[in-house]
Structure 1
């Protein structure tokens, strides 16, 4: 026992413990990485991949056809996305004539110029009657000649797009029912042109007229987003283009598209309902300065009139107008949801 105690010195004990820890860690590492080091894991994966392959020639051919079809669809989607990106950049810089066409106005530029001149005169007369100042009259004329006509075109354009979105899912449903009944796609488009409401009917009528001129159906449908630059029209164009080039179940694809369109419409209504409170708050906040100024003018006109008859008051009104405009733009951006 005395000899054993002499051998079990602290140094020897520490070395023994270190060796035991080292062998334990080495065994643990070997147990974890042994399959990867021996190559058995790779062989198991390869065996599973081989066993998962279709065994018959028919199955292998079907898998190859599906892979080629997927690759073809991916290539077409990439090409279509590139073209749509170029179209979107062009639409963002759309000319005034293109915006008038999108608004459903059959005007030429001379008609727009006449419209602008007439409203410039009307606004100038109103400014002269209300203020008697030539500078304010010139400002009114500028707004009537350049601002109001473009606002009118933009308002008509937005109203027409909203009407298109309301009717478009019904038009897609008509095409789905026609395709399921065995009608050709061209006849279904003509049916929509006869049965749907405006502006969907006129846009599908243009598709049929373009096809009569010798243009393919896919190309005629691809021009729809140029006239109606909306995501929904773009979706429809993509579905028709891919189906015409790659094949597949058109009725099922359009039925899914109809569900997407109705879901987007429901989401838009939900966003409108949720943002109505914010819009009402923004309207109240924006109208408060004018309401307070009107009340002050009725209660103490001598106190508020200084803003309109003194240079310092004019400077304060100009500053208030700038800050009000900035506040209104910020609130508009906060409640303007895009999806």
Structure 2
């Protein structure tokens, strides 16, 4: 296949992916609106009159695994192992879209990245790098939003445990104490506790509801809280004292983490400077003497040196970040 034909094929695939993505996004939104309207109209009647078994059956139907509104793509993703992980990431990041839409978006941006990087250089390696950069952008944004929610949850957890302790000391049940958190605390912790309380009210076993909780939020302190809660329900014990000690321990860990961040600030800042310095110097030299760096961009040896320097820059930046990162 000739080069123009290959380029035309890639552009056609990118355009087709774009139209499929728009179609999937619109269909997904409209069907969600219809489902929400049906649930809103019937939830007041059905959930108050059905038994716990019927409520569980209703929830299982509503939560039927569906990866895309496009039948072919849904069947294709149904047999892919990464589709379940992507669906879990979207749930954890609270991104209201389907895995199929994300896959189509990644395919579109990856195709555009390949075309945009391959045309000027006619290098397959450049095209692959463009594909990885643009195609991985949606996944990077989802990962960043997911990590931000986890961080906010961790910061809100000590106050929530203290509030739960006070509610239990006031004579409230565990369900009521968790409901107080869902009403008084801000998101994301309020949303996660609210979903757990709703599952308990629908008859989901406590152990299963807590497992769902830890699947939605990846946090070591939450796992400790859930394990302590389940053990206390089985063998008994002073739950209020346990919650108070756990809240105090989490606050102490945050204090130590902030001290470590302050002590390693110089190393992290040095990594940023070292990573940005070659790029800044290249821009300055190119502005002052444009012909000086032309061999890097116009010769085969220059392209090789650029690729090697970028690889070494990324490797050095990665090792500096690892050296300054301390896991608690």
Rg comparison, structure with higher value: 1
Deviation at residue 219 of structure 1 after TM alignment: 3.9
Unaligned runs of 5+ in 2: 1-82
Q: How does the TM-score come out when normalised to structure 2?
A: 0.68
1:116 matched to 2:110? The reply is no
Aligned pair 1:104/2:94, yes or no? yes
Structure-2 change in CA distance of 1:202 and 1:134 (3 Å):
farther
Q: TM-score, normalised by structure 1?
A: 0.66
Distance 1:247 1:236 in 2: 15
- 1:137-156 paired onto structure 2 within 5 Å: 139-145=129-135, 147-156=136-145
Uncovered stretches (5+) of structure 1, i.e. residues with no partner: 1-92
Distance 1:257 1:108 in 2: 37
Corresponding residue of 2:182: 193
Instruction: Name the residue aligned to 1:314.
Output: 303
What's the secondary structure of 1:242's corresponding residue? helix
Q: 1:327 to 1:140 in 2, by over 3 A?
A: same
What per-residue deviation string (whole Å, max 9, x for no partner) do you get for residues 105-157 of structure 1?
Answer: 232222212432454466467658xx734544664244322x11111111011
Give the 3 Å change call, closer, same or farther, for CA 276–179 of structure 1 in structure 2: same
Structure 1 residues 283, 269: closer, same or farther in 2, change over 3 A?
Answer: same
CA contact (8 A) 1:275 1:335 kept: yes
> Is 1:132 matched up with 2:120?
yes
Determine the structure 1 residue equivalent to 2:214.
225
1-side partners of 2:111 and 2:301: how far apart? 32
Deviations 1:37-93 (A, max 9, x none): xxxxxxxxxxxxxxxxxxxxxxxxxxxxxxxxxxxxxxxxxxxxxxxxxxxxxxxx9
Question: How large is the RMSD of aligned CA atoms in angstroms?
Answer: 2.3
Residues 203-261 of structure 1: CA deviation (Å, up to 9, x unaligned)? 11121122123233344224322211210110110121111111111111100011011
- Shift, 1:197, TM fit: 0.9
Give the Cα separation in 2 of the matches to 1:188 and 1:208. Answer: 10
The structure showing larger relative contact order (alpha-carbon pairs under 8 Å, at least 6 residues apart) is 2
Output the CA distance in 2 between the equivalents of 1:188 and 1:195.
Answer: 11
